[in-house]
Amino acid sequence: MSLTIYAQRLGDDSLILGQRLSEWCGHAPAIEVDLSLANVALDLIGQASHFLGLAGAIEGKGRDADALAFRRDVMDFTNCLLVEQPNGDFAQTIARQFLFSHYQVLFLERLAAAQDERFAAIAAKALKEVSYHATLASDWVVRLGDGTDESKARMIAGLDWMWRFADELFVMDDVDAAAITAGAGVDKAALRPAWDQRIDAVLADAGLVRPAARRATLGGRTGRHSEHLGHLLSEMQFLQRAYPGATW
């Protein structure tokens, strides 16, 4: 059961962030940005499909990736709170992507070396994608932070909004410990120093300072979500809810 939840968490992170980014399609500040965000969203949805498919296979109850994505209630989702936060303006979206993608790079590097070949194979493929995501987000942090007074102010505000959710990325619990024992887990707490180093280096290039430390906001891994996730799911799951079992 723990491995099912572990794979589900990984899938949920990518699924919800991919859905969030898809909201920019047709609304981004430039065509180039519109295309790049759409491509990142597609990468994440692909990762979600693989991890949720693996979760369903491990569970062995006949649920596939689609069932897990579209037929669960909000409290059954196990994504971190960071990825469900609203897009806000472009800088806020970039701040969210920046913090998560650098974490995801470090996480998938370790997961790609896991003993469990199922998890390792998905991680190895996804790592190539998220390395680009981290570079894209970092470039925009620098461009906005080292740009105009307005772009810098918006980048600072975006980072301030998202920063409270970063600590949850590194929190370990019994599910993580069981996955490590099973040869499929990563010690997330051990990733924090490298993540801090990566984040601080980009912020320095952007002429920005790290947001002030604050009490961590937790709960996503155990189904305690913000109001934002419910609104997201009401749109994402509409067709399956309105027409159960529908196919193209």
Please report the pLDDT score of residue 243 as a whole number: 81
Q: How many domains does the chain have?
A: 1
In a domain, 128, yes or no: yes
Task: Say how many residues make up the chain.
Answer: 248
Query: What pLDDT is attached to residue 240?
Result: 82
Asked if residue 248 belongs to a domain, the reply is: no
Q: What is the mean pLDDT of each run of 10 residues along the chain (248 residues)?
A: 95 98 88 91 98 98 95 96 97 98 98 98 97 98 97 98 97 98 97 98 98 92 96 92 75
Kindly state whether residue 48 falls inside one of the protein's structural domains: yes
**CA 98 to chain CA mean position, Å:** 10
Domain region containing 208: 2-242
User: CATH number for the domain including 132?
Assistant: 1.20.1260.10
Give the distance, in angstroms, between the CA of residue 126 and the centroid of all CA atoms in the same chain: 12
- In the three-class reduction of DSSP (H, G, I as helix; E, B as strand; rest coil), residue 144 is classed as helix
DSSP class per residue in 23-61: TTTTTSSSHHHHHHHHHHHHHHHHHHHHHHHHHHHHHTS
CA distance 240 to 13: 20
pLDDT at position 34 is 85
Residue 190: inside a domain? yes
Domain assignment present for residue 84? The answer is yes
Q: Is residue 123 part of a domain?
A: yes
Phi, psi of 85 (to 5 degrees): -65, 145
Taking the CA atoms of 178, 6, 78 and 89 in sequence, report the sign of the dihedral they define: positive
- Alpha-carbon distance of 66 to 75, in angstroms, equals 17
pTM over 0.75: yes
Distance (Å) of CA 89 to CA 131, 133, 194, 195: 23, 18, 28, 24
- Say if residue 214 is exposed, middle or buried (CB neighbours under 10 Å; 0-12, 13-18, 19+): exposed
247 within domain boundaries: no
The closest alpha carbon to 78, from 161, 125, 126, 14, belongs to: 14
